[in-house]
Amino acid sequence: MSDNFFLNTQKNNVLNVTAYGLELINKAPCLILVHGFKGFKDWGFFPYTGEYFSKNGFFVLTFNFSHNGIGDNLNEFTELDKFAQNTLSLELSELNEVITAYKKGFFGEIADKGIGLVGHSRGGAVALLVSSKRDDIHAVATWSAVSNFNRYPERQKNEWRKNGFFEIINSRTKQVMKLNVSLLEDIESNRDNSLSIEKAVKKLNTPLLIAHGEIDLTVPIKEGEAIYHWSDKEQTELFIVKSAGHTFDIVHPFEGSNQKLDSVLNKTKEFFNTYLN
């Protein structure tokens, strides 16, 4: 069972939030799921994951970043102007606001039994960056996380700066989606400080689970291995999903789970059962 909320941010944006297991909020730990680039809270495995964790004793929040391109239609990119304007720094601030809203009782009186973050792809990196600067995140799980935001060749960057935007094709919807140069400027100006995933992981003093598909073509497994290399090995586990791709072979619209996703869900559940009370 799920409930929906709208959270107004300090920058006058609105976050569409779904809560799973609201009846557990005052007696269970909280998990916050963080989607990635071209992702959204109702994509593929996210609703299934929210239900899975709530059925296993967690209060769960999923949400759309305000500029992820999803508006009133929860399954289609209808706000491409906002998508173009998105930055990573904005996403960091919005995840922080969701965490703070939960702690302040926006969704209801809480149990205060711990907070865990689960981030997929770019969302995994955002979760790591936020967790490294807070003392109220008690465990982090990344699924197929990127290890570096500076992923663009110089030729592409030069065209991006020249045109003021860069266009990508959404392979699923075939939409042409623009990224304004503000995203590139955010990455380049903050890559050595607030957007350094390496620094964040080295600073992280939190149990970490890194789940990554063995044959991920979108974010190669070497990126998960890099995160593991930077981490505190006494608090970190690298879980390699054999023969799995970037989304553990789950598609959108959701057609049901599979053995690969089930293994990730079970491993993540065991991880949070160990570190959240």
CA-nearest of 82, 104, 73, 76 to 183 is 82
CB half-sphere exposure, 138, CA atoms < 13 A: 15
Tens digit of pLDDT for each residue in 49-98?
A: 999 999 999 999 999 999 999 999 999 999 999 999 999 999 999 999 99
pLDDT higher than 90, residue 277: no
- In this prediction, residue 112 carries a pLDDT of 87
Which pair of structure tokens corresponds to residue 90? 């904005």
Q: What is the pLDDT of residues 166-223, one digit of tens each?
A: 999 999 999 999 999 999 999 999 999 999 999 999 999 999 999 999 999 999 999 9
Q: What's the whole-model pTM score?
A: 0.98
Whole-number Å distance between alpha carbons of 180 and 68: 13
Distance, CA of 55 to CA of 165 (rounded, Å): 43
Spans of all domains in the chain: 2-149+193-275
Q: What is the pLDDT of residue 24?
A: 98
Query: What are the pLDDT digits (tens) for 13-58?
Result: 999 999 999 999 999 999 999 999 999 999 999 999 999 999 999 9
Nearest to 93 by CA among 143, 144, 129, 41: 129
The pLDDT-based confidence of 1 (bands split at 50, 70, 90) is confident
pLDDT tens profile 218-230: 999 999 999 999 9
The per-residue pLDDT for 41 is 98
pLDDT, residue 51, reads: 98
The CATH architecture of the domain made up of 2-149+193-275 is 3-Layer(aba) Sandwich (3.40)
d(CA 99, CA 32): 8
Three-class SS state of 246: coil
Length of the chain: 277
**Per-residue model confidence as pLDDT tens digits over 120-163:** 999 999 999 999 999 999 999 999 999 999 999 999 999 999 99
